[in-house]
Amino acid sequence: MTKTAIMEIKRSLRGPARENEPLAPHTTWGIGGPAALWAEPADTADLQTLVGACGAAGVPFFVIGAGSNLLVSDTGFKGVAVALCRLADMRISGTHVMAGAGTSLRTLVRETMAAGLSGLECLCGVPGTVGGGLATNAGAKGRAISDTVETIEMLGHDGAVAAQPHAAFTFGYRASSVKQQGVVCAAQFRLDPKNPAEIKQTLRSSMQERKARQPLAAKTAGSVFKNPPYDAAGRLIETSGCKGWAEGGAVVSEKHANFIVNRGGARAQDVLALMARVRAQVAKVTGVELEPEVEIVG
């Protein structure tokens, strides 16, 4: 990415932009080299301008939300990291909720609970944002964010912003076509009325269960591998004897085998090497080929 391209993109943007921004502090793993440019579009129109400028300059970009489910290369990203933290407006009208792509899932769950609206309890404790949650179809216990989304406002590949209905996308287990169809700007959800106290109890129980089973206080990216059909990746990894395995500063959690913890100073290459060892061991012992859930950038 040339200095000229960086300056042209920065001039086009109304929101903040920083060169050679370290990405490690922006990820829950705390791993990753710098992005050539970090950009925070001020609003949807600014996002349109930014993406158009990247296209005109032939510069790659990727969208970063809360930095969970993400492994950034040690050498960083030679393009633009687009942070949608300023697209975080949220409006509740009756049983409908409109939330910007940068809205944290934690805020979405908390505010809908307070409004007595049910349907997003499956996102309790899930790190991330609305945009990232839709891209990965985040959820738990057989439920997902796609169950309640009605429309998604997208910046398409043609440069136009338009609201697309649920039927315009495909959703599966920890997967969707959302990312392939453009950049999420906002989404509308339809929820069900319910006593806030009942919702709160459900959320409390879910969080207690998560705290008991997962290393929530450690630096992780969440689940590293997708659960195969009718089984759990964590069980397969534990059965294969991988708990406690380490590469450099990366270690397979003793608390939940489908989490890799950055115990200090871990590099992306440590995590990748550990993931490869775990996949090979699970395949050898169980015959199951695990599929990574984390996105690798750079």
pLDDT, position 163: 97
pLDDT, position 3: 86
Q: For the chain, what's the residue count? A: 298
Residue of 21, 153, 247, 293 with catalytic role: 293
Domain parsing of the chain, residue ranges: 3-83, 90-199, 216-297
pLDDT, position 203: 96
Q: Determine whether domain 216-297 maps to CATH 3.90.78.10.
A: yes
Positions in the chain short of pLDDT 50? none
One-letter amino acid identity for 55?
A: G
One-letter amino acid identity for 273?
A: A
Residues 6+ away with beta carbon under 8 Å from 177: 169, 170, 171
Contact (CB, 8 A) for 250 and 215: no
293 belongs to the catalytic site: yes
14 belongs to the catalytic site: no
> Architecture of domain 90-199 in CATH?
2-Layer Sandwich (3.30)
Helix, strand, coil proportions of the chain in percent (round to 5)?
35, 30, 40
pLDDT, position 86: 97
279 belongs to the catalytic site: no
CATH of region 3-83: 3.30.43.10
Which DSSP category does 138 fall into?
-
Strands in 142-255 per DSSP E:
143-144, 149-155, 161-165, 171-172, 175-176, 183-190, 192-193, 246-247, 250-252
CA distance 204 to 202: 5
pLDDT, position 14: 97
Residue of 18, 110, 143, 174 with catalytic role: 174
Contact (CB, 8 A) for 166 and 177: no
Contact (CB, 8 A) for 57 and 73: no
216-297 shares the fold of 3-83: no
Residue of 223, 240, 267, 279 with catalytic role: 223
